[in-house]
A and B are shown apart, each in its own frame.
Chain A
Amino acid sequence: MTEQEAGTETIRTNSEEGGLLGTFRRLASFREFVLLLVIIAFTIIMSLASPIFITRLNIEAILLALSVEATIAVGMVILLISGGLDLSVGSTLALVGVVTGLALTAGVSSPLSIIIGLLAALSVGLLNGSLVAKLKINPFITTLGTMITIRGLLLILASGRAVLNLPKSFTVIGQGRLFGIQYPIFILLILVVAGDLLLRNSRFFRQSYYIGGNENAARLSGINVDLVKIFNYCLVAVLAGTAGLMLTGRFGSSSLTVGTGIELRVITACIIGGASLSGGEGSVLGAFLGALFMGMLANALNLLGVDVYYQSFITGLILILAVVFDVLNERRKASRA
């Protein structure tokens, strides 16, 4: 077994079941695997229902549409694992767009504007992280507060108007292509792969599991709990900022209302992907698959000409189903033990 495979070793359990069925059972206890099966089944059904579903153009459209949510989900799932929560990601996303846009219109060069924008995101992360880790304020309340505050700050900064006509040297982030594929998709895929590998194998990132599982015990194991928490808030904020840059680049303008409600969609993707609000569980791959599934669903409903109002209805149902599935699964295992 190579080191690479070893990350998935957790799949093995001590049940002595052999054969294909046993292997399947073991795999089925992992959310990523179940979700992957659902996505494959969904793809097959949809490709029969609509000829354009698995065309390259449509796949690109799906990935582009979910790139924003999924990018933030990479950070959000790590934060959720460590027992945190961030409602302010949508505001941070818009903040970075506006700050970068304002810098650009003031004549600052594109790379420097981007750095300024991401620094703004980082400071939101530092603020959230310090309030939660140092002052022990509940994450929900902390980030609800920063979410509202930042929206207000945006209106003040941009005097209530969007920032328009951004230069090409910047918009390339959202519109440029590499090997014919748009940058946001590349950025997303790199983040997902890197994030998943790090969270599976890096001792630093794995500290989040201990903190979310049992904070006091984590402290006793010598983990610098406050540091990891603050790091996680900064990570999700910077990723929200990255999503903001991609979105601003794509539209060529910074909107003040962009990203409204995105925090709940991101958290939904993480939960569907196996994360838990009480911490200690989840993976980057799961969160990505959760976002992918939601994106495919929205796309499919569009293609099938279903009214847009049904999307939210169905996404909600799926979230509830995923959680019910979890609860029943745990109960079944508990009764077998």
Chain B
Amino acid sequence: MLGGPMNLGLPNPYWVTRTVEYILRADHLSKHFPGVQAVDDVTFGLRKGEILALVGENGAGKSTLMQILCGVQRSESGEIYLEDQAVSFTSAYDALNAGISMVFQELSLVDGITIGENIFANRQPVGLFNNIKWRQLRRVTKELLNRFDLDLDPTTLVKRLPMGKQQVIEILKAISTDPKILILDEPTSSLTEAEVSDLFEIISSLQQEGMSFIYITHKLGEVFDLADRVMVMRDGKYVGSRSIGEVTEDDLVAMMVGREISDMYGDTAQLETTQGEYFQVEAFSRKGIFQDIQFGLKRGEILGLAGLVGAGRTDLARAIFGIDPKDQGKVVLEGEELDIHRPQDAINRGIAYLTEDRKGQGLFLDMTILENLIAPVLKEFTNRFGFLARKEIKEDVFTRIEKFAIATPSANQKILNLSGGNQQKAMIAMWMGIEPKVIIFDEPTRGVDVGARSEIYHKLRELAEAGTGIIMISSDLPELIGICDRILVIHQGQITGEVSREEFSEELILAYAAGIKNRNQH
């Protein structure tokens, strides 16, 4: 490998431009898991002091590649060069000591211990007999917190912190080893807008201190807000990398999917203007969560609920569906007031709620597609002896798997083994079993890659055209603007704005969402 700079006919030949200083180079890395080539001959470089965004669909191999770089996985072939030295890590701890630190998607914090002990996990300053020096631990933690203007007590238990702060602590933990390279895997997926901007500020200040970053994300907006360069992976392979100045969002999507997606969202509805609302939510309130929510839904309409994380949209949906209590409020369907106290009441009247927490609350991960799809409709497939009608179930399930284009070798595949997009399609298929009149869909494309996303949008439009009203909650503004017929904006539990398709603009919706604009205060 001493020969180094020679042209192997690869894309982006970094060795040609020797003026650029690379802190990390990966050379022909490969890794396969049973049945899948997760990382396929990937060669790329990370420049010193840059933020390199890494994008690609689910299953493109981003996470595996990063796990190789930070020592969690071993590559089967290829080399890693850190500051031009070949390195080989046997554990994440090795990589950490060499200066590569990673913030994983799942939080790695322990709830029941303090901020200080979390940040300096297993690296607490110790004295004689391994005894922890508490005062010193508190001091170094405080210094670290002060450096990022965080007014927190190092002895606060982590479980007392809000989600966003926990994410920041997670990052402090990763940088407390003073790494040269920090790898972040979708760090903003559960943060509010304000928390995201705080996080970006921290990242920028670390960049100025000379730290280099690899930033995995699904949100293309973040790529343009934060990164210097972006690298795309698909099917385990390196597709290419571009400077931020010379690439558009459409280019990236095309690189990620490998084809142009011309018609992402499908057609919008041609609603009859004379047609009235068939579903109404009236005077919904729950103290401290949402107040006096009032809106209606027309047949065939896709109504978006926009707002910041924590604005109360999910709470509202859960209250309508009867999961959470409400202080007051009425739900009217086809002119009849519904008496909803528990989810079963809502289901019986034809209301479906598809949760944002697909893995935690939406699906039975360890069970098969078949078992999942019949879960809400078990009663209909039970014969008079109380046994399940196997044959009818199979027929029904096969039809739905086909209709919703769930890619699976069999109906007996465990949900766990499906990709995010297929899981989401399975959840839709599961709820269509109750033949709903109203669908409330919370974050329909979270963790779903671009290709499957487009399929889901088309499916939603199809359902709407068949006469179902859809209420869609999403934190992805371009998505709401792309598919909805009308958008309601919620700010701190109140509807602050209603925007019709002709007026759609990100600026306007954001202004309502942030509470800068309010239709109630003219």
Q: B-contacting residues of A (Cβ < 8 Å)? A: 1, 3, 6-7, 9-10, 12-14, 201-204, 206-207, 209-210, 212-214, 216-223, 280-281, 333, 337
Minimum distance in angstroms from A11 CB to a CB of chain B:
8
B residues less than 8 Å from A14 (CB atoms): 152-153, 155-156, 160
B residues less than 8 Å from A1 (CB atoms): 135
Closest to B91 in A: A222
Binds A, one of B52-60, B119-127, B246-254, B400-408: B119-127
Quick check: A10 and B153 within 8 Å, CB to CB?
A: no
Minimum distance in angstroms from B109 CB to a CB of chain A:
7
Kindly state whether residue B338 has any CB partner on chain A within 8 Å: no
Quick check: B122 and A210 within 8 Å, CB to CB?
A: yes
A residues less than 8 Å from B106 (CB atoms): 216
1/0 per residue B193-222: CB within 8 Å of A?
Answer: 000000000000000000000000000000
B97-125 interface with A by 8 A CB criterion: 104, 106-114, 117, 121-124
Quick check: A222 and B133 within 8 Å, CB to CB?
A: no
Minimum distance in angstroms from B125 CB to a CB of chain A:
9
24 A-B pairs whose Cβ atoms sit less than 8 Å apart in the complex: A3-B131, A10-B157, A12-B155, A13-B156, A203-B126, A203-B130, A206-B132, A209-B110, A210-B121, A210-B122, A213-B109, A213-B113, A214-B107, A214-B109, A216-B106, A217-B110, A221-B122, A222-B91, A222-B122, A223-B121, A223-B122, A280-B111, A280-B112, A337-B162
1/0 per residue B153-170: CB within 8 Å of A?
Answer: 101110010100000000
Q: In the complex, which of the residues B92, B122, B130, B134 contacts A7, with contact meaning CB atoms closer than 8 Å?
A: B134
Given known contacts A6-B134, A201-B132, A218-B121, is B110 in contact with A213 (CB within 8 Å)? yes
Quick check: A204 and B153 within 8 Å, CB to CB?
A: no
A-B contact count (CB 8 A): 102
Main secondary structure of the interface of B (DSSP, over half): loop
Quick check: B160 and A13 within 8 Å, CB to CB?
A: yes
How far, in angstroms, from A46 to B419 measured CA to CA in the complex? 63
Minimum distance in angstroms from A174 CB to a CB of chain B:
31
Closest to A212 in B: B110
Kindly state whether residue B377 has any CB partner on chain A within 8 Å: no
Closest 4 CB pairs of A and B: A213-B110, A217-B108, A6-B134, A222-B93
Q: In the complex, which of the residues A10, A218, A219 contacts B155, with contact meaning CB atoms closer than 8 Å?
A: A10
1/0 per residue B470-500: CB within 8 Å of A?
Answer: 0000000000000000000000000000000
Kindly state whether residue B138 has any CB partner on chain A within 8 Å: yes
Minimum distance in angstroms from A260 CB to a CB of chain B:
33
Minimum distance in angstroms from B205 CB to a CB of chain A:
24
How far, in angstroms, from A202 to B122 measured CA to CA in the complex? 11
How far, in angstroms, from A223 to B156 measured CA to CA in the complex? 23
Kindly state whether residue B175 has any CB partner on chain A within 8 Å: no
Number of B positions contacting A (CB below 8 A) = 37
Q: What 19 additional pairs, Cβ within 8 angstroms, besides A13-B160, A210-B122?
A: A3-B131, A3-B135, A6-B134, A9-B134, A10-B113, A10-B114, A13-B156, A201-B132, A203-B126, A206-B132, A210-B110, A210-B121, A214-B109, A216-B106, A217-B107, A220-B72, A221-B93, A221-B121, A223-B121
Kindly state whether residue B387 has any CB partner on chain A within 8 Å: no
Kindly state whether residue B96 has any CB partner on chain A within 8 Å: yes
Minimum distance in angstroms from A216 CB to a CB of chain B:
7
Q: In the complex, which of the residues A9, A221, A223, A337 contacts B138, with contact meaning CB atoms closer than 8 Å?
A: A9
How far, in angstroms, from A202 to B117 measured CA to CA in the complex? 12
Closest to B108 in A: A217
Closest to A333 in B: B160
Chain A CB within 10 A, most for which of B113, B117, B134, B160: B134
Minimum distance in angstroms from B380 CB to a CB of chain A:
37
How far, in angstroms, from A229 to B156 measured CA to CA in the complex? 27
Minimum distance in angstroms from A214 CB to a CB of chain B:
6
Quick check: A202 and B157 within 8 Å, CB to CB?
A: no
How far, in angstroms, from A3 to B135 measured CA to CA in the complex? 7
1/0 per residue B42-84: CB within 8 Å of A?
Answer: 0000000000000000000000000000001000000000000
Closest to A274 in B: B112
